[in-house]
Amino acid sequence: MLKKAFLLCCIALAAAGAPQYLSQLGSAGSGSAPKKAADPIATAALPVPPAQPKASYLTGIRAVQIPMGKSGHFSAQFRVNGRTVDGLIDTGATFVAINQSMARTVGLKLRASDFNRTVRTANGSTRAAYVELDRVEIGSISVSDVGAFVLEDAALSGTLIGMSFLSKLSSYKVREQVLELAN
């Protein structure tokens, strides 16, 4: 009786995952003709929107896949404290880093006296304020109480998603030019 129940569960799980598996197989082997390459000079100046993460729920693990951009970086849309933010994933950054304008957008109210730390960035040293972000989300993944630094607008033009977020995930890895996050 236990063997039959186990087999029924296995069959049910396989049936539930079959449509997604088959659709992935179909898109991987579509056999369509190669597209003509775009003029690299004309397209280099075009802004590249962040990738939309692909979520997976089949295993019960919350997972997101982010394809590598043409620049060789992984960027996507995140939600920080409930607000949509374009973020660049930076494993070389110890913390999430946002600028003052983004801090205001996500609801942080900082005083000049909060900028009491000095941080080293790729562009040199600058003043920063340490904050705890209530929540950082991407796709189906949500992480609470993420340490971050707020830098002056002149010191940071975008949002960096650093190790203070990534280290709270159960795993992250790059496979075939796709960054896979799991929680």
Where do we find the tokens 């650093």? Answer: 162
Domain range annotation of the chain = 1-31, 44-182
Strand partners, 182: 63, 171
Give the pLDDT score at 71: 92
**Could you give the 3-state DSSP secondary structure of residue 21?**
helix
Per the prediction, the chain carries an average pLDDT of 78
For CA atoms 145, 106, 179, 96, the dihedral sign is negative
Most confident among 55-59, 60-64, 122-126, 176-180 (mean pLDDT) = 176-180
Cα→Cα distances 6→2, 9, 61, 124, Å: 6, 5, 21, 59
DSSP of 63-119, one letter per residue?
EEEEEPPTTS--EEEEEETTEEEEEEE-TT-SSEEEEHHHHHHTT----GGG--EEE
Q: Are 110 and 150 in contact (CB under 8 A)?
A: yes
pLDDT tens digit string along 107-145?
999 999 999 999 988 788 999 999 999 999 999 999 999
DSSP class of 154: G
CATH topology of domain 44-182: Cathepsin D, subunit A; domain 1 (2.40.70)
- Is this prediction's pTM over 0.75? no
Does residue 55 have a pLDDT over 60? no
CA 71/CA 34 separation, integer angstroms: 21
Take residue 55 and report the two structure tokens written for it.
Answer: 């979520």
pLDDT class for 1, splitting at 50, 70, 90?
low
Residues ≥6 apart with Cβ < 8 Å to 64 = 53, 54, 55, 56, 76, 138, 139, 140, 141, 180, 181, 182
Closest CA to 164 of 76, 105, 99, 89: 89
Mean pLDDT of 28-49: 44
Take residue 101 and report the two structure tokens written for it.
Answer: 């304008």
